[in-house]
Amino acid sequence: MKILLTGVAGFIGYHVAQALLARGDEVVGVDNLNDYYDVGLKQARLDQLAPHKNFSFHKINIADRGAMMPLAKSDAAHIVHLAAQAGVRYSLTNPYAYIEANLMGHTVMLELARQMATKHFVYASSSSVYGGNTKTPFAVEDPVEKPVSLYAATKRADELMSWTYAHLYKIPCTGLRFFTVYGPWGRPDMAVYLFTKAIMSGEPIKVFNFGKMKRDFTYIDDIVAGVLSSLDRPASGEPPAQLYNLGNSHAENLMDFIATLEKELGKKAQIDFQPLQPGDVPETFADIIPSVRDLGFQPKTSIAEGIPQFVAWYRKYHKS
C-alpha cells in the first residue's frame, strides 16, 4: 500500500519508513528539515532512504496548507503523521514553534486526511500528556487535563482534534503515546545521545531532580513494530478513534540507565546534579495492556540490549 509519512527525516519517521519499504510498501515522505537539531543528521537519514524505488520525498512544512494540499493527489490510502515540534524544554523558550507545527500542522494533516478519504490516520502523541500524574503505570483512561508543558498541551490538543475529525467525518484515527524512544539515528537532544557525547568527551552530564528520575525507555525497533501494527489495524467504534501507549512498560531508574551507558562506554560519567526542570516529570511508566491486546504489541528490548546498539551506531556515525 502507499503511505503518506510526515517527519520522514526524523528519528522515528526514518525508522518507520525503512520498515515500510522493507515490507514492500510505497512511502511518500514529507519533512521540512528544520534546524531544531543538526540538519546534517536529518539529511543523512534521508540519504539512506533515497535509493529505494518506492520512496519519494517532498520538502514541505506541514503547517503550509497551500503546499500540503496538492499531496491529496498522491493516491496514498493511509497517513502516518509523525512530524512535530518535539522537546519539553525547548517549548519554554520557543512556544510559537509548537503552535505552528503541532496545532496548525496537525489541523492541516487532518484536513488533508479528509480530502483524501484516508483509510487510517495514525499520528504521534506523547507520554508527556500524562503531566504530573502520580498513579503509575500511566493508562490511556487516566485523566490528562493538567499538562505541565506547552509541548504536552499541544499533543493533548492533537488527540482531541483527531477525535473530533473521527466523529464528524468518520476518519479512523489512532494516536500513539510514545515513551522515551532511543536507539540508532536518535535525536541529539535526547538523554542517551547527550550523555554519550559528554561522557566520551570527558564533559559533565546534567542529571535533573538530583537523579531521582524514572523513565520508560523504549527501543526504536519496538516502537516501529507498534506503529506498523497499529497502521494495519484501523481504529473502529463510534467514533473510530483510539489511543494507545507504546512503551517498554518498565520504569528504569535514570542512574541505572547511566550506569549501563558507562559500562558500555568503558568510562565513568562526571555528573552535575540539578533540580527538577520546569515542564519535566519525575517518572514515566506505560500501561500497555490495551496495546498488547489490540495491536499484539510486545516490546522486547531491554536497556542492556539497546544501549550497546546505540553506542555502536554513535561511534560509527561520528567515527569515534
With respect to residue 114, please indicate whether it lies within any of the assigned structural domains.
yes
Helix axes of 303-318 and 191-201: crossing angle, nearest 10 degrees: 60
Is 134 within the bounds of a domain? yes
Q: How far, CA to CA in Å, does 37 sit from each of 34, 75, 274?
A: 8, 32, 23
Q: Is 151 a catalytic residue?
A: yes
| 257 within a domain of the structure (yes/no) | no
In-domain check, residue 163:
yes
Please indicate, yes or no, if residue 271 is contained in any of the structural domains.
no
In a domain, 319, yes or no: no
pTM of structure: 0.96
Query: What are residue 3's DSSP bridge partners?
Result: 27, 78
Per-residue pLDDT of the chain (320 residues; tens, 9 = 90+): 999 999 999 999 999 999 999 999 999 999 999 999 999 999 999 999 999 999 999 999 999 999 999 999 999 999 999 999 998 889 989 999 999 999 999 999 999 999 999 999 999 999 999 998 989 999 999 999 999 999 999 999 999 999 999 999 999 999 999 999 999 999 999 999 999 999 999 999 999 888 899 999 999 999 999 999 999 999 999 999 999 999 999 999 999 999 999 999 999 999 999 998 887 888 899 999 999 999 999 999 999 999 999 999 999 999 95
The catalytic position among 14, 37, 90, 151 is 151
Q: Residue 158's domain spans which residues?
A: 2-182+220-249+284-300
Is residue 150 one of the residues assigned to a domain?
A: yes
263 part of a folded domain: no
* Alpha carbons 273 and 255: distance in angstroms, whole number: 11
Closest CA to 42 of 33, 50, 51, 55: 33
The enclosing domain of 176 has a CATH number of 3.40.50.720
Quote the number of domains for the chain: 1
- Give dist(CA 133, CA 313) in Å, integer: 35
